Chains A and B, each alone.
Chain A
Amino acid sequence: MGPNPRKRKVVTRAAPEASDSGDELADGLLDGILSHSEDDSDQSQVEDDDSDASSVIEGLSDGDEEDEEDEEDESGFESEDGEQDIREQMRKLKTTDDPSKRTISLDNGADATADGELDEQDDSAKPNYTVTTDANGNPRYIYKEIDPVYDSDDSDAADVANTIGNIDLSYYDEYPHIGYDINGKRIMRPAKGDALDALLDSIDIPKGWTGLTDPATGKPLNLSAEELDVLKRVTRNEHLEDGYDPYPEMVHYFSGVKEIMPLSAAPEPKRRFVPSKHEAKRVMKIVKAIREGRIQPYKPPEEREEQDEQVHYDVWADEKPRSDNSMHLAAPKLPPPGYDASYHPPPEYLPDKDEEKAWLEADEEDREKEYLPRNHDALRKVPGYERFVKERFERSLDLYLAPRVRRNKLNIDPESLLPKLPNPEDLKPFPTTCAAIFRGQEGRVRSVSFDPRGIFVASGGDDGYVRIWEILTGRQVWNVKLSDEEAVDSVKWRPDAETSILAAAAGEDVYMIVPFTILSPDVEQASRDILDAGWGYAASKPSTTTNGETKEPPGKWSRPGSRLESKGVLVQTTVRSNVKTIHWHRKGDYFATVSPRGQSTAVAIHTLSKHLTQLPFRRLKGIAQTAQFHPSKAIFFVATKNSIRSYDLAKQELVKILQPGAKWISSIDVHPGGDNIIVGTYDKRLLWHDLDLSTKPYKTLRFHTAAIRAVRFHQGGLPLFADASDDGSMQIFHGKVVGDMMENATIVPLKVLKGHKVKSRLGVMDVDWHPREPWCVSAGADGTCRMWN
């Protein structure tokens, strides 16, 4: 009985054969009803003997329709006729012996018609039942009577009232039957509706008819007279039984009336008045025991003193040492008292007033000592110690609450940590003391330079002056004011002992100075010759331009004007932005200037003999900080903010990029050998690069507390280098480079030269070495230069 109606039809297809074969009366009756309804709708089919399965289905569905129609014309006179028909058919049904007998196989009704002949031959083999045709022409099976022998086991089965189990009856609404019997035959629905009414009209209403249907069986529910009576009483709120007395009379089972006579009149027995012999026996026993002293009379226990004195014995009679691996840590002992805990300490241990006040004011937990040393000149004057119990209590707390950890005491001789360095005496000479102070400048001194002959020191500073000092006397021998507003950022002597030319940068201008007043005439002449050689060179060979336009040259070479010329400033070169550093090529014909602000024009190489300025880099990665020529090869080093690039000038290609790992490089210097570079950085580091080793620094030295501004190798053959830092100190190192490739450079710190004052967080601005001697000169932000030897 699935929800799919089509399926339901398929299932019901075989139904007529089964249902129609019923030979019981009820079945027969129902069959009759069915067939009657069919007949009503379709007259022709009554006569039609051979109805196949499809027609049956048609008929079934028609019959359903017909049911509804029947209900519609209930009051029709047709009912009379119908009734007669029923009766006729019932009669027919009972007596049916259709001449046209057909055998149908059990399996398939549809096939059965086709294979009827075939099955007929097997009929003799199946004597269990006979197939006849019922009133509708359907095959009908008539089973033989079962012989009720013992084995037959049919009698015990009670007639099953309900075969559909616990299934709602409504599911069978659409079907003519309700459930199946043991033989698989349909149990037909009890008749209802018009046909039934008609039937009932003919029959008397049975006794106890209620008109209700028993939901369990689907059969009419009949009630007996008693049951009906009970129901009636219940509806009327009456007592269910006849003769029930709701208020019976009370029976007094217990009376409050006192009996006058006792129930027993027996006299008191004698034994109630005679002493017990048994008891006497027991008493005598006790008395005897007491007399014999076996039972002591009760004595209240003595108020014995709590004498639970500890019984002592030798606990350590068989002592075994603790196992070595135990995790036990003994509690540390308290330290013994020191001198200051004495009641009469040496007077120097007594606190003075400030210490005492500090102690008293300090929080109890912050005090280094929990007591204040006191002096009592006699033992009798010593008071009690207030904190005694408290200290003891705190010790107890420590014993059971403080975690114990075994700590190794630091027992290292600090001397053993310090490395054994070569004796500074062996590393001598190096500058140790301040030999001279060159005073007289205003503002910071930004740059210093030793003259190649080692006689003079040039300095330039914020006041715009270039000054020249004599080393031996410390006297200022010459000065010129280059600029009013710009500081002199860099001064550098040309590295040629025959001449004496000083390059100084102030703002965008680079000046070539021959301080002739302090020079011998031949030197002056040589110097002037060199400077004058280039005049007109640029004019005679104008910069070749590709498309005819005259490109503005990167540097303008001119005469600085008569005022300066009279002082010895002979050539002025103007570049496009402020020059910060100047560096000469070793031969003195070229010099490089770096102006960090001018992006593409940051690095310029100038040729003195041709008065020519070139910009070697069209574009430079990062901000150029400083640049330097290789001391022997045609290699040019440019330091940007955090890397150093070396270029081959001859081949015009990049050779190497060094990565010092610094945040901001301040200055670099190339070792006279050419294979090592030192780099000073604003992040307080001094880095030593070995060009043969790696692009990373060989040593990183961090001894300064402030930025490093300048680094410089000694150029005259001594293995020294120095750095200048904003913490006001210079550090001198021994840095020996061995020609052997296998050995690394040895660097030994030698000396910290202190003396410059730190002014507005600037200390030493520049440093330079004497060309031959182990002397150096430093420029300080405090407006002095110092000469160290």
Chain B
Amino acid sequence: MAVGLKKKGTTGAARNYITRTRAVKKLQISLPDFRRLCIFKGIYPREPRKKKKVTKGSTAATTFYYTKDIQYLLHEPLLGKFREHKAVAKKIARALGRGEAGDAARLEKHLIPKIKLDHIIKERYPTFVDALRDLDDALSMLFLFATLPSSEYVPAKTISICQKLCHEFEHYVITTHSLRKSFLSIKGIYYQATIQGQDIMWLVPYRFVQRSGGDIDFRIMGTFVEFYTTLLGFVNYRLYTTIGLVYPPKFNAKMDEQGGELSAFQLEGRSVIANGDATHNDDAPRAVNPDAQVIADKIAAQADTEEEEETIPAAVQSANEEEGTEGIDKFEVTAPDADVLPQPEASSAEVASLFAPFTFYLSRETPRTPLEFILKAFGSKRVGWDGTLGDGAFVTSESDPSITHQIVDRPTLSNGADASDAPASTNDGAAPKVQWPRSTMPGRTYVQPQWVWDCINQGKLLRPDLYAPGAELPPHLSPWVKAKKGEYDPTLSLQEQEADGEAAAFEDEEDMEDVSEVEAAKEDNGVDALLDRESSVEAGEGMDVDDSDDDEENESDEAEAAAAGEDWDGIDSDAESDISEGEAARLQHQRELEAEATGKPLEPEVGTTKSKNAAIRKKAEKKRREEEEERARQKMMLSNKKRKLLKRIEYGENKRDTEAEALRHKKRKLEKVKKAGN
């Protein structure tokens, strides 16, 4: 071979990537082991930039790994463990084959290598912030596994570890008040906490039995869980130690059995330990009487709350008095084209004071776990609940006078029931037990659970009457959506965001529809009556049905109208409209002249809404068309490359616009229905 000639496929992309099969062969492990290794080490396939070079022309679909990743794997201590495990597995299989169950058990007990992932945690997350950044999936996964029933693939031990770790993490969030947002979605409850500047969002399922059938491989999930438990353990350790707490916190198994959940954990300050060290120099530093410790902690906690109770109103007052001095002022953008600079969201002090002055009582039917977590994370120290919901409540009696807010999720009873159930409350004895919904305590606020979520998302206490039991709740909005330009924003009114002439066009359309609707109404009178009755019977859900029916009608009418529109809105529309406009102007001028001639003051022309609408619509349409033409003209001069780029951008924009428009259209229709209802 001539000097300087290089053989193909010996450098560059062809060498930097390796197929999965080759990787497995190189590591000399089985595919499942390779999978586990990849999950533990966080090695993922790559997409080579020059795929043809890598595949050497073959077009078969293959996954590629970075060769260096695999090279590093060769030195992984876990590989050795896997091999050991394989050897032991062989021995066990042999023992079982010989019918030596005892031997097999002994081998399994003593020889199965224990896999430790500590070094991998450090390797994958060189800094703590890296670990926090990657905590989203870990938390979601562990919170899911904490609620799963134990099964063949999911041992009970794993589940208990998951539960423990999750509760420990929640405790940290509560103590540091780092929860920022939460959202009730149809999937579950989203939480977002900000820890050391990192936004961590996780999803917790509602407490139902999860459907886990189908093609779900729990071995893969199990591998992830194994890694995540290790990760969260170390993260919790670091989090606890940074705020001066001892990790792991004391775990009260008995309380946990009684449904204590969060309250089964007892956080300890590190100072206590330090004192212990100082006093007891012998080898049992932890030999503190646990009961005494519990009591001491309780006292300490109470002192804390009392302190805070005292201090917080003062703080609030001061904040009210001189708002400008301490916090960050909110900069409002005055012009729409200016850049928006991000400002830090609520500080932990604000978060901690949101629910601090209140005592909450959770009714039996409310989801206790998320409410307890959120309320505590937002400053409330006193959360009580019905005894049936588990241990650890601040108060279990609903009639406790210290309760300021009661969270209920039950429909109101009609008046008749109230009277009949009254004796039941008197039966209980001395303390007159008043219970929702039969009667209400004076001075207590009754709200639905959504109130809590909306309050924390908006960072302020909302009017509780909007969330009163039985009231129709305002829509629950995701706190993460920031409406961009051109997107539909449900928090704003329609007028603020619609395009010019859109409403007018809609109204015109509706007018067209009205005619047809009236006809339709005549025809479908019977059906309508039926629907009406339905809606009166069941106020809640019947409406939906009704609405959607209307929607459909409207939709079809609309289609007709559109079709009709195309007919008459043909090619001549432009010219005609122009002509008619000119005509109108001429008439107006004529009228003015006449008025001048006769000396009468000109009466301002009172157009009908329809003509006005038409005028607005025409104007808007004209403007839009002009803009379009201008744009088309500019596009003509673009190079092919740029035109394609622009097309791609415009595709996204158009999609967004059509979505927004569809939403606005729906909203407008709903508003109209509402108006008609009024």
Contact = CB atoms under 8 A, between A and B. Distances in A.
Contacts of B93: none
Nearest to B20: A401
Contacts of A344: 184, 450, 473, 475-476
A417 interface: yes
A414 B650 contact: yes
Interface stretch (A261-269, A333-341, A587-595, A621-629): A333-341
Contact of A379 (B184, B411, B666): B184
Contact of B185 (A341, A395, A421, A703): A341
B191 to A, nearest CB: 11
Interface string B100-143: 00000000000000100010011001111011011011001100
Contact of B208 (A333, A378, A383, A748): A383
A168 to B, nearest CB: 55
B478 A342 contact: yes
A389 B247 contact: no
Interface string A332-354: 01101111011111111110111
Nearest to B230: A310
B566 to A, nearest CB: 14
Contacts of A383: 206, 208
Contact-residue bracket for chain A: 35 or more
A410 B183 contact: no
Contacts of B64: 403
Interface string B32-59: 0001001100011111000000000000
A751 B630 CA distance: 9
Contact of B241 (A314, A337, A352, A405): A314
Nearest to B40: A400
A342 B475 contact: yes
A330 B477 contact: no
A396 B221 contact: yes
Contacts of A338: 478, 480-481
Contacts of B19: none
Contacts of A397: 220
Contact of A378 (B185, B188, B192, B448): B448
B190 interface: yes
B126 A333 contact: no
Contacts, number: 277
Interface in B185-241: 185-188, 190, 192, 201, 205-206, 208-212, 214, 216-217, 220-221, 224, 229-230, 233-234, 236-238, 241
B480 to A, nearest CB: 3
A203 interface: no
Contacts of B323: none
Interface string A393-428: 101110111111100001010100111010010000
Interface stretch (B270-278, B386-394, B586-594, B636-644): B636-644
B66 interface: yes
Interface string B364-404: 01110000000000000000000000000000000000000
Contacts of B649: 410, 412, 414, 417
Nearest to A377: B540
Chain A contact residues, majority secondary structure:
loop
A396 B224 contact: yes
Contact of A393 (B44, B136, B216, B488): B216
B326 interface: no
Contacts of B563: none
Interface in B618-647: 629-638, 642, 645-646
Nearest to B127: A319
B233 A343 contact: no
Nearest to A342: B476
A375 interface: yes
B637 A419 contact: yes
Contact of B221 (A306, A333, A371, A392): A392
A404 B448 contact: no
A530 B642 CA distance: 57
Nearest to A386: B211
Contact of B144 (A330, A354, A379, A392): A392
A339 B126 contact: no
Contacts of A271: none
Interface string A18-43: 00000000000000000000000000
B37 to A, nearest CB: 10
B217 A393 contact: yes
A320 B126 contact: yes
B629 A703 contact: no
Interface stretch (B281-289, B306-314, B548-556, B607-615): B548-556
A293 interface: no
Contact of A315 (B122, B248, B473, B630): B122
B480 A312 contact: no
Given A380-B409, A396-B224, A418 B478 contact: no
A378 B544 CA distance: 14
Contact-residue bracket for chain B: 35 or more
Contact of A347 (B141, B642, B670): B670
A371 B46 contact: no
B575 interface: yes
Given A341-B186, A384-B205, A346 B477 contact: yes
Nearest to B645: A417
B653 interface: yes
A568 interface: no
Nearest to A747: B637
B211 A389 contact: yes
Given A385-B206, A393-B221, A749-B636, A306 B201 contact: no
A131 interface: no
A113 interface: no
A401 B42 CA distance: 10
Given A330-B133, A418-B631, A352 B548 contact: yes
Nearest to A370: B187
A129 to B, nearest CB: 71
B340 interface: no
B186 A382 contact: yes
B114 A403 contact: no
B476 A385 contact: no
Contact of A384 (B210, B229, B238, B578): B210
Contacts of A339: 475, 477-478, 481, 490
Nearest to B551: A352
B574 interface: yes
B478 A336 contact: yes
Contact of B472 (A321, A342, A377): A377
A417 B642 contact: yes
Contact of A385 (B45, B133, B148, B186): B186
Contacts of B247: 312
Contacts of B210: 384, 388-389
Contacts of A352: 548, 551-552, 555, 666
19 contacts: A312-B234, A315-B234, A319-B126, A322-B126, A334-B136, A334-B137, A336-B201, A338-B478, A338-B480, A342-B475, A347-B670, A378-B473, A379-B366, A380-B365, A389-B216, A390-B214, A414-B650, A424-B633, A433-B574
Given A338-B480, A388-B205, 9 more contacts: A339-B490, A342-B477, A383-B206, A389-B148, A395-B137, A396-B137, A402-B45, A410-B648, A418-B638
Interface of A: 306, 308, 310, 312-316, 319-322, 327, 329-331, 333-334, 336-339, 341-350, 352-354, 371, 373-380, 382-393, 395-397, 399-405, 410, 412, 414, 417-419, 421, 424, 433-434, 701, 703, 748-752, 754-755, 757
Interface of B: 35, 38-39, 43-47, 63-64, 66, 68, 114, 118, 121-122, 125-128, 130-131, 133-134, 136-137, 140-141, 144, 148, 157, 183-188, 190, 192, 201, 205-206, 208-212, 214, 216-217, 220-221, 224, 229-230, 233-234, 236-238, 241, 247-248, 365-367, 409-411, 448-450, 472-473, 475-478, 480-481, 488, 490, 540-541, 544, 547-548, 551-552, 555, 571, 574-575, 578, 629-638, 642, 645-646, 648-650, 653, 663-664, 666-667, 670
